[in-house]
Structure 1
Amino acid sequence: MRASHHPLAVCLALLASLIFAAQPAAAQSILRDAETEELLRDMLAPLVEASELSPGNVEVVLINDGSVNAFVAGGQAIYVHSGLLGTADTANEVQGVLAHELGHITAGHAVRFDERSKAANGISILSLLLGVGAALAGAGEAAMGVIAAGQQAAVGSFLSFNRNQEAATDLAGARYLSGAGITGKGMISFFEKLRGNEIRAGYSQADEAAYARTHPLSGDRIQVLRTLLEEDPAWNAPEDAGLQERFVRAKAKLFGYLAEPQRTLAAYPPSDTSAPARYARAYAYHKDARIDMALAETDALLAAEPDNPWFLELKGQVLLESGRAADALVPLRRATELTRAQPLVAGLLGHALIATEDKANFAEAEGVLRASVQKDRYNPFAWYQLGVVYEARGDTARARLASAEVQVMNRQYPQALANAQAAEAYLPYGSPDWIRAQDVGLEARAELERVRKRR
């Protein structure tokens, strides 16, 4: 993979490398992408309604890990590995997994996942929006290593509980699919796919000790589910064509972002002119510094769908990360407008405004970035860019508060505490930012105390 030497790209690489350096080498990390997150929420919504949980209270978090896995970790969050999306062939298969995991939430199951949760809470990938910047910092190679190892295993950690809990959760998932009017064919086909992977990997289906260790899906469990789901009125319900098209695109996008360009071009050759293939190739060409070819793919996508916000976002990203920040403003402003200022998209626009190095754009950047972090506080790159704006205008107190926000997300608690205290000392007493500085300081102090007690 070739690295660009444009100053902007080098700065992006440096920032990404610093954040990656703060995490363990094998740590899992959260993947942030507005399009994929919206898709997962829409997949989950009817299932949440059927489960009688409060709509909007269940979150789906995408984890950068190539293994085929999904888990819950207390509260109402479902963690889905990127490897699971790569293995699934349909949106309906993913919905089957989400329905199963909802069963864990409604049953109040608690999962031991100390190492995974620590890694998941440390946001080491800023966003898919940082595609080339992260790749230049080495994230592409690291991600490929994780994916390669995960796909070779592709078993073991998908289910987290003992067999009785899993059986009850299977039934709950089937019930939620039925209540939502969603066919259970995807649940069966995905579980069969996992079972096939386990057999190919040499896991004996008769080895009860292996079952106890890794909780694989047995033929008996699949048969129970098949009998139940085939009798359900929703069994022959058609799959959602709109969700499927969105899933295929998001899957291609994810593949193009994570895989080596050569692998992407082999999987999605230039002869394939479908939207998913162009999507994947645009990322591959961009990562390989073939900017003209990346832009040609994005322009072809936009020619077919000129108001697709995700295609506009991609074009803005390619332009921005190839040193054409001013040119990136038009597609990014339009993408921000079409998504009603979705935080990750708006954050990228703020980044582009700053990257123009035109101080006349900084006021707009501040407004965009403040709105972004108000909607989504867990976006370290938006906070970093906001800190750049504050520093440029001499607002050191708010710049230090922005630094504290980034540091607490990356578990750099001593630095976060120091910056939060410094910000609090100089911010207007009782202002929202002053209160937030107190909150960040308290969070950092509490985490430091937990570390001290563990020692």
Structure 2
Amino acid sequence: MLPTRLDNPQGLPARVARKALRLAAHIGAFAAALALVVQPAAAQQKRPNIIRDVEIETLLRDYMRPIWAAAGLGQQNIRVVLIADPSFNAFVMDGKRIFVNTGALMQSETPNEIIGVLAHETGHIAGGHLARMRQQMESAQTIAIAAMLLAIGGVAATAGSNNVGGNPAGLIAGPQEMIRRSLLAYQRGEEQSADRAAVSYLTATKQSPRGMVKTFERFQNDQIFISQRVDPYVLSHPMARERIAALEDLAAKSPYLNVKDPPALQARHDMMRAKLVGFTERGDTIARRYPLSDNSLPARYARAISTYRFGNVQEGVRQIDALIAEQPGNPYFYELKGQALLEAGRARDATAPLRKASELTGGNPLIRTMLGQSLVESGDKASTDEAIRELNFGLQRDSSSSSSWRYLATAYGQKGDIPNADLASAQSAFYGGDYKLARELAGRARQKFPLGSPGWLKADDIVNFKPPNMPVRSQ
């Protein structure tokens, strides 16, 4: 156990003793810094903007279902989580979720490209790389502590020497740098292992590894201007040229190298990209990418989204109706129409297309949640029970939506059910991160529920919740 203060029995110079004290006191901070070194850049963001979309999530599950089966993870409840970020990146943080940036989806021209990336992340999960990295981190922290203490001891033994000069930093920097390089070398090995696993999954599912090669060629182009200055031993991923060489060797041996994505899957991929462009890019960017001369379905999809987003709701809905007329069985066109009307303050008009979208998707929880929202905002008290039912259905499958709890609170309020309105408001505050307000509202709700009832127990859990101590690290 480290002391909270450093005695100075050897009579170290005061300046040296103070530096040694600071180094010993910040061993924990150094260990945390090691963790930051090996995490992907996107994983270090303080508050990643997670987005939900039924069409995209369904498509990504369809992409990944064969890969997960080939990896022996078919029975696992793995989710693909979308991060609103324009960079091309994907990463895993646990064994249950693969995070993928919207930038990766928009930049990937074929399904095979994004399938290869997600197969690589699946390789991390199937290979147990995260658990092994934690073990490596624990070992590195132990070595770091020992190295620091030895360095401090070296300062004490040679305090009067001109070789030290009262500065222990040189003695400590060497071991720390070796530890850091060792961890990064370990992770580079795991990345290469995940690459090999990804190719094996693609082969098992009779898909081409060509998309993976194209992705790493993109990475190589990003690195081409800095590769001469980069020390490969301080990178957490292998240099792109090395990965491309290894992948090309594996790809050349695949009997499915020249297999193309099915046309129907490519069409869905193109629609996904158009949707993301329509919702995330500026109007002039969308117009350049999908000009009026482009009459394809993805182009009209992107333009319809752009039209309603930038204020012309009536014309946007007209364009969406034209899409529905062309594909009356496409649930996502009805969902888009309902969303456009709802965001324009026309909740009553949004209800019918959202009901149709729910019907066509077999009652997707996200669409049913939006339907519940439209019923609440319509102000029709005759629909209150339906709104509560729809919102509860969605929350049973994803309880972390603060806005859904807020709409549910409003629905209970419209019905005059004050205890459940207070409880839903408490849960909205809780999932929004306002723990103080959540406890206050839950305490009020708890007083109105019978002792030991389900509502009382849920309120009591919030009242007694202790927020985790999560200090913010400056970047």
1:447 aligns with 2:467: yes
Partner secondary structure for residue 265 of structure 1? helix
- TM-score of the aligned structures, taking structure 1 as reference length: 0.77
Per the TM alignment, residue 26 of structure 1 is displaced from its structure 2 partner at its CA by: 7.7
Q: Write the deviation string for residues 374-397 of structure 1: whole angstroms up to 9, x where unpaired.
A: 122233322221111012222222
Which amino acid in the other structure matches residue 319 of structure 1?
L
Matches within 5 A, 1:114-153: none
**In the alignment, which residue of structure 2 is the partner of 1:203?**
226
In the superposition, relative to structure 1, how do residues 446 and 42 fare at CA in structure 2: closer, same or farther (>3 Å)?
farther
Determine which structure has greater relative contact order: mean sequence separation of CA pairs < 8 Å that are 6+ residues apart, divided by chain length. 1
Matches within 5 A, 1:49-448: 49-110=69-130, 162-199=187-224, 202-204=225-227, 206-209=228-231, 212-213=234-235, 215=237, 217-441=239-463, 445-448=465-468
**In the alignment, which residue of structure 1 is the partner of 2:65?**
45
Unaligned runs of 5+ in 2: 1-44, 135-183
**In the alignment, which residue of structure 2 is the partner of 1:148?**
none
Q: Distance in 2 between matches of 1:197 and 1:209?
A: 16
Residues 399-408 or 298-307, more deviating: 399-408
Partner secondary structure for residue 85 of structure 1? helix
CA contact (8 A) 1:329 1:353 kept: yes
CA contact (8 A) 2:88 2:101 kept: yes
Q: Distance in 2 between matches of 1:394 and 1:83?
A: 45
Which amino acid in the other structure matches residue 79 of structure 1?
F
CA contact (8 A) 1:162 1:212 kept: no
Partner secondary structure for residue 73 of structure 2? coil
Residues 210-219 or 308-317, more deviating: 210-219
Q: Write the deviation string for residues 237-285 of structure 1: whole angstroms up to 9, x where unpaired.
A: 3313222211111111111111112211221112222221121112211
Which amino acid in the other structure matches residue 101 of structure 1?
E
- TM-score of the aligned structures, taking structure 2 as reference length: 0.74
Residues 370-379 or 75-84, more deviating: 370-379
In the superposition, relative to structure 1, how do residues 451 and 222 fare at CA in structure 2: closer, same or farther (>3 Å)?
closer
In the superposition, relative to structure 1, how do residues 85 and 441 fare at CA in structure 2: closer, same or farther (>3 Å)?
farther
In the superposition, relative to structure 1, how do residues 439 and 216 fare at CA in structure 2: closer, same or farther (>3 Å)?
farther
Which amino acid in the other structure matches residue 61 of structure 2?
R
Q: Distance in 1 between matches of 2:392 and 2:54?
A: 18
Size of the alignment, in residue pairs?
Answer: 380
Which amino acid in the other structure matches residue 196 of structure 2?
L
CA contact (8 A) 2:124 2:194 kept: yes
CA contact (8 A) 2:106 2:277 kept: yes
Which amino acid in the other structure matches residue 315 of structure 1?
K
Identity %: 39
**In the alignment, which residue of structure 2 is the partner of 1:141?**
none
In the superposition, relative to structure 1, how do residues 176 and 392 fare at CA in structure 2: closer, same or farther (>3 Å)?
same
Q: Distance in 2 between matches of 1:160 and 1:358?
A: 62
Which amino acid in the other structure matches residue 334 of structure 1?
K
Q: Distance in 1 between matches of 2:441 and 2:449?
A: 12
Per the TM alignment, residue 70 of structure 1 is displaced from its structure 2 partner at its CA by: 0.7
Partner secondary structure for residue 62 of structure 1? strand
Per the TM alignment, residue 214 of structure 1 is displaced from its structure 2 partner at its CA by: 5.8
Per the TM alignment, residue 217 of structure 1 is displaced from its structure 2 partner at its CA by: 4.0
In the superposition, relative to structure 1, how do residues 171 and 453 fare at CA in structure 2: closer, same or farther (>3 Å)?
closer
Larger Rg: 2
CA contact (8 A) 1:71 1:160 kept: no
CA contact (8 A) 2:123 2:194 kept: yes
Partner secondary structure for residue 80 of structure 2? strand
